[in-house]
Amino acid sequence: MAKAVKDKERKVTVNVCVSEINWRLLCNMTHRDNAGSVCSLKFQTLLVALSPELLFLGAGVQLHNNGYDGLLIAINPQVPEDQNLIPNIKEMITESSSYLFNATKRRVFFRNVKILIPATWKAKNYSKVKQESYEKANVIVTDWYGTHGDDPYTLQYTGCGKEGKHIYFTPHFLLNDDLTAGYGSRGKVFVCEWAHLRWGVFDEYNNEKPFYINGQSQITVTRCSSDITGMFVCEKGPCPQENCIISNFQEGHMFIYNSTQNSTALIMFMQSLSSVVEFCNASIHNQEAPNLQNQMWSLRSTWDVISGSADFNHSFSVDRTELPLAPTFSLVRAREKVVCLVLDVSSKMAEADRLLKLQEAEFYLMQIVEIHTFVGIASFNSKREIRAHLHQINNDDDRKLLVSYLPATVSAEAESSICSGLKKGFEVVEKLNGRAYGSVMILVTSGKDELISNCLHTVLSSGSTIHTIALGASAAENLEELSYLIGGLKFFVQDKNSNSMIDAFSRISSGTRDLCQQHIQLGSVGENVKPYHQLKNMTVGSSVGNDTTFLVTWQTRCPPDIVLLDPNGRKYYTNNFIINRALQTARLWIPGTDPGLWTYTLNNTHHSLQALRVIVIFRASCSAVPPATVEAFMEGDSTHFPCPRMIYAIARKGFCPILNATVTAKIEPEMADPVTLKLFDGGAGANVIKNDGIYSRYFFSFAVNGRYSLKVHVNHSPSVSTLAHSTPGSHAMYMPGYIANGNIQMNAPQKSMGRSEEEKWGFSLISSGGSFYVLGVPAGPHPDAFPPSKIIDLEAMNVEEEVTLSETAPGGDFDQGQANSYEIRMSKSLWNIQNDFNNAILVNTSKLNPQQAGTKEIFTFSPKLFVNGPEHRPDRKTQESHRIYVAIQAIDKNSLKSAVSNIAQASLLISPDSASVLARDCVSLKAVLTAMGLIGTICLTVVVTHCILNRKKREFPGGVVA
């Protein structure tokens, strides 16, 4: 039975996107089952026993009996209240449900939808939130200063076949009916974006390469399918296709499509046409088009991908003829912000200065938690206690009062009952409204507890979001499962001097994503400073802030000498800081700060070495300039050696991607040295799309078993292009116009997109990426288990009779180091290169030496010897065009191979002279071979005859042979 299950799991990978390494996917599916230490058997058994309703609370969108349940749409607090917005959202989803049902051949539709109303809107007859929050939303309605136009778009970061992060709509798109002329109906647009988000397919157009030369050597439009009709339009009107040269196309040159088309399968290309009702399938798919769908999915059609997804493996076509019922909508309004600190005070907290780290919650209460938040405090060991009932923060006195309730000592009991602590926390928050719905628990513990599973039902049914902070290596192994199940954050703080505790608190917010209320971390620095030496550093704020806070910590009895210089030249000294000698902290709050460079110096006046630390946060003002932000996270909550993890950092200003930044990840294991890793946004290796502001990298340098923490630093130098020119991610196509009855009808031009800016000051940002768990790391030297990463940006360009390939070099181990060699193969058959790569024609790569990972590589070869055979009879008067397909594998020094790259293609033009010479050479070769064959046959006949005669003479000596 177990073998059958494993075989079924492996079979599922056949349909997984070709851009993912099947070896890595198998790791995810099989090693998770072996990771018994991550989740106890009792814990897993209890999950199965829970009701589907409880599991659904933190599970996101679920497909059940062909219907999607749990779709969450959140409205940003900065969006003004509009009475038409909610009805228009409902209309969009209702239309999309029936449209999706038919487009998927009666397979799926939307059943239950929730819309999260911001607390900034007036209270009406809305339901109260449970565990719904802005960060957990599938769809976000926001218009952060309109920097990206009205393009609906989907943020995809994990590659094809994987679910994206969010779909974004602007209020203007949802309220302005005039935009439907260019985008089509909102329901169709939503289906297009849903395919991006849910099934990981990509756009079938390409704004950067709107034209290409097809296999017939004709200029054609990047489109799918290729039979879509229209007209080339140049600056002065229509232009003949033969007079349009790709290299000469400038702004104003475009291709305008006919409003009436015969093709109906264009959802991922031109959803705006009324005739479009299906996804592009294999029979009409344009495999030549240089679009992202072809690149990422190796020329597979969108319907081929969608129909092979997990959703379709677990659903069947509905036999009934009627459409499914319209979706049901629930309107839930964000309630008062309610937070409870649930703090471990067992004797374990007395070890390794953990109590001092626990008391760093003072910084969270004084500086980070938003104004008007209700905050309570509970503590636990084997018992539980309410230390502070809910108290609303309206001023600094309220904050100081809450700080006074933080634990100053720990108990003598080593036992920790996490369930008892959580239940007491629920008791605290329930006194406000009778339920814990929408509240936030921040659980800090270092104790072991084998009975966490006993309160799982209570946790899931509470409606509260739980963020966990594990202090030291002794914390319960399955602690993070509480956060994972309900979408909370999880952090790990080591038993050493670091800023990890405050970094964790800085990452935790109320979940409203109101940037005018939340703090942004600009700096987090710590060093061991010798006696009478200095810690000098700088940090940069990129926008105007309502307040900026500097926190300095030390280890000795007295604080260091502090000198701080602000962007305007004003100096602050130690006596300007608020000193807390018990907590060994000094804090300076500066209201109304300007952007620019801050420099600080800490002088260690003590006679011994000590760790000095500085944390800088600021709160952005609600001005016309959005702040720069970074969000760091890791794919998955645990892994088993040798399966890698992917690190991500989304750097944005408002919603515009930040380009050309230096992004560095610091990964710290429990009992080993930290690892520093530079992240990239180059569209190679772990990075899916170039210049989308999502920086990423593989991480596989596992030193030990246990917890690992992640922190990301972003630095951007001044006078460097910062913002992207276009909307990030995948997005529905806007049609500039149509041709109707022979007349060109242009739509209104799109709202301007994000533009490049020069940062006068640059900026720096810090973000904690939480923690993850690693198991199965072998002792001693590790075997080489990491192949090169798959090449995903292979391109081919033909120049005369040669093909030039370009790609970004992978590493010897995923996207790090240097590969040992390449294996390039080509074929005139797409099927052969897709399904039988090892038997395709091998290209000589003896002169191609792999470079360091991330380097752009170029290689030229001549395929003309392979595209013509002796049976080919070229026309001597014309050039011959041949379509060839090329793919590449990287090989490391231990012969581990990467997955086969994306498939590149080129149209090779063979001149009549070279073709005739080649044909003549082939005929001559055939003649030579034929002559040699005849000669060999004659010789063989003579030898055989001679042998037979000699044998008969020996048998009949002196006789006559009859």
Q: Report angle CA 328, 329, 330 to the nearest 5 degrees.
A: 130
Residue 527 β-bridge partners: 612
Query: Given CA atoms 579, 580, 584, 590 in this order, what sign does their dihedral have?
Result: negative
Give 416-462 as a 3 state SS string.
CCHHHHHHHHHHHHHHHHCCCCCCEEEEEECCCCCCHHHHHHHHHHH
- Which strands, in side-by-side order, build the sheet including 610-620? 519-529, 610-620, 545-553, 585-593, 578-580
Taking the C-alpha atoms of residue 632 and residue 653, their distance in angstroms, rounded to an integer, is 15
Taking the C-alpha atoms of residue 60 and residue 883, their distance in angstroms, rounded to an integer, is 44
Taking the C-alpha atoms of residue 896 and residue 880, their distance in angstroms, rounded to an integer, is 39
Q: Are 809 and 855 in contact (CB under 8 A)?
A: yes
Query: Given CA atoms 402, 408, 409, 415 in this order, what sign does their dihedral have?
Result: positive
DSSP string, 58-116: TT-SEEETTEEEEEEEEE-TTSPP-TTHHHHHHHHHHHHHHHHHHHTTS--EEEEEEEE
Taking the C-alpha atoms of residue 215 and residue 906, their distance in angstroms, rounded to an integer, is 8
DSSP 334: -
DSSP string, 209-252: --EEE-TTS-EEE--SSTT--EEEEETTEE--GGG--GGG--TT
Q: Are 527 and 535 in contact (CB under 8 A)?
A: yes
Structure tokens at 778: 């072998």
> 128, 691, 792: which is closest to 429 by C-alpha?
128
Enzyme catalytic residues: 193
Whole-Å CA distances, 173 to 85, 109, 182: 10, 23, 11
Q: Please, is 501 exposed, middle or buried when counting C-beta atoms within 10 Å of its C-beta (0-12, 13-18, 19+)?
A: buried
- Length of the chain, please? 962
Non-local CB neighbours of 848 within 8 Å, separated by 6+ positions: 822, 824, 857, 859
3-state secondary structure of 833: helix
Report the amino acid identity of residue 190: F
**Residue 752 CB: number of other CB atoms within 10 A?**
10
3-state secondary structure of 122: coil
Structure tokens at 694: 């999502």
> 599, 621, 602: which is closest to 612 by C-alpha?
602
Backbone angles phi, psi at 722, to 5 degrees: -110, -50
Q: Are 560 and 603 in contact (CB under 8 A)?
A: yes
